[in-house]
Amino acid sequence: MKTPTQPKLGLSSASFRRLVGRYLKTPTLEFYATCAPGFESVLATEIDRLPYVTNSSVQHGGATFFGSLETMYHANLRLRTANLILLRLARFLAQSHPMLYDRAGKLPWELHLANQPSFNIKVTTKASKLRYTKQIRKTLSAAIRRRLSRYGMDVKYDPRAKLTFNIRFFQDRCTVSLNTSGDRLYLRGYRTGTGTAPIRATTAAAVITQAVKTSPDLIYDPFCGSGTLVFEAALAADKKPPGISRTFAFQDAPYYSKATWDHICRLVNSEQRPDTVALFGSDINPEAVPDLTNTIDNLNLKNVPSFWCADALNIDLRDLRRHAQTPLIITNLPYGTRFGPPSSAKRLVKKFCDHLMTFGAGWSYAIITKHPEVFQDKQVPVSGATRFSNGGITVSLLTGQILNDSGVPS
């Protein structure tokens, strides 16, 4: 790794190199990746495949893992189902503002802010004596500025700062983390437009990972909206890292190495061994299927998806799968305020289940729905169900396969 960026604000170069040098040699930095609740095990499986990970464990809404700074680079670049990668910096008891000021003032904030004019702080608190986030932020800002003043650094709180520290209080315990991702990871950077209420890209990736146990040769989303499920399926089939089109907050940290980052990106690109799969999406709303050419071009895909405007209930699934051996329907059936009254959404689910049972022999499916009971009522074979929250609404991911009259795929 090259010599880290030298500070601009008064910390001597020699002292800074010693401080960062020790930090870079720490082999067991702690990280926490967040995800949509319900998909923690999918995320943990992804994490275990990252280079240099020494340990991982699942918690509600995410997973903890340990590794080096390079692990952080890989996590932000490669993880498809993570929403955010946090670098854990400290945990301590803080039952009063003087206690918080004292203990926060002992943390080495200079390692992360030596080349920055400002920092941001985001606070959450639950079941703690310190409850007022604005006052907590003021106390932390004062502690950080006092610590950095030792090195002649004048770094100020600014909600627009490039680096953000996430502060979480729970039962009087303060956890300090650095947001290494910046914008949440479902903002992939390839999107040029979105339809109404699109599913988050990271949730779509988790759904695809959960659903695709074998390699389908055709994937179709009959309620594609802005195409997120199809695009994430294309990225997965191409083996393209989801973070390749964007930047991350850690690239503004003083210990960021562009040479290391470029090397990792070249390495990941050289590992790509794309699968071959036909990708299709359709939607009844012409405004929900805009011209996606620019998005497709931005992704530079080997497996290029096709989109068109159509009523899902009029699509002959037999014709669509005529030359496919292992076709997969993967879709997010409409629900919530974007579709009107719940009764309307439920009627659509019933009609689609009928359509699937009539024309869908041989198709596997992975369907997100708010009405899983309809699948049972319509005797649609379900082999797996995962409950999760999408946009604050509890839904189910149902998976299965439609068989012909002989009990086997057509």
13-179 and 201-243+264-401 share one fold: no
**What is the tens place of the pLDDT at every residue in 30-42?**
999 999 999 999 9
Residue that has been written with the tokens 């080997």 in this structure: 302
pLDDT at 323 over 90: no
The domains of the chain are located at: 13-179, 201-243+264-401
For residue 88, the surrounding DSSP H or E stretch is strand 84-93
pLDDT at 26 over 80: no
Q: Residue 44: in which H helix or E strand, if any?
A: helix 40-48
pLDDT band at 2, cuts 50/70/90?
Answer: very low
Q: Are 40 and 63 in contact (CB under 8 A)?
A: yes
Q: What percentage of the chain's residues is helix, strand, coil (to nearest 5)? A: 35, 25, 40
pLDDT in tens, 340-395: 677 889 999 999 999 999 999 999 999 999 999 999 999 999 999 999 988 888 99
Give me the CATH topology for the region 13-179. VC0802-like (3.30.2130)
The pTM of this model reads 0.91
Question: Average model confidence (pLDDT) for the chain?
Answer: 90
pLDDT of residue 291: 65
Q: How confident is the model at residue 337 (pLDDT cuts 50, 70, 90)?
A: low
Domain 201-243+264-401, architecture per CATH: 3-Layer(aba) Sandwich (3.40)
What local confidence, expressed as pLDDT, does residue 192 receive?
A: 63
Tell me whether strands 278-283 and 173-179 are parallel, antiparallel or unpaired.
Answer: unpaired
Each residue's pLDDT tens digit, 49-108 = 999 998 899 999 999 999 999 999 999 999 999 999 999 999 999 999 999 999 999 999
Buried b or exposed e, range 60-75, using 16+ CB within 10 angstroms: ebbbbbbbbbbbbbbb
Average pLDDT over residues 297-322: 92
Beta-ladder partners of 278: 218
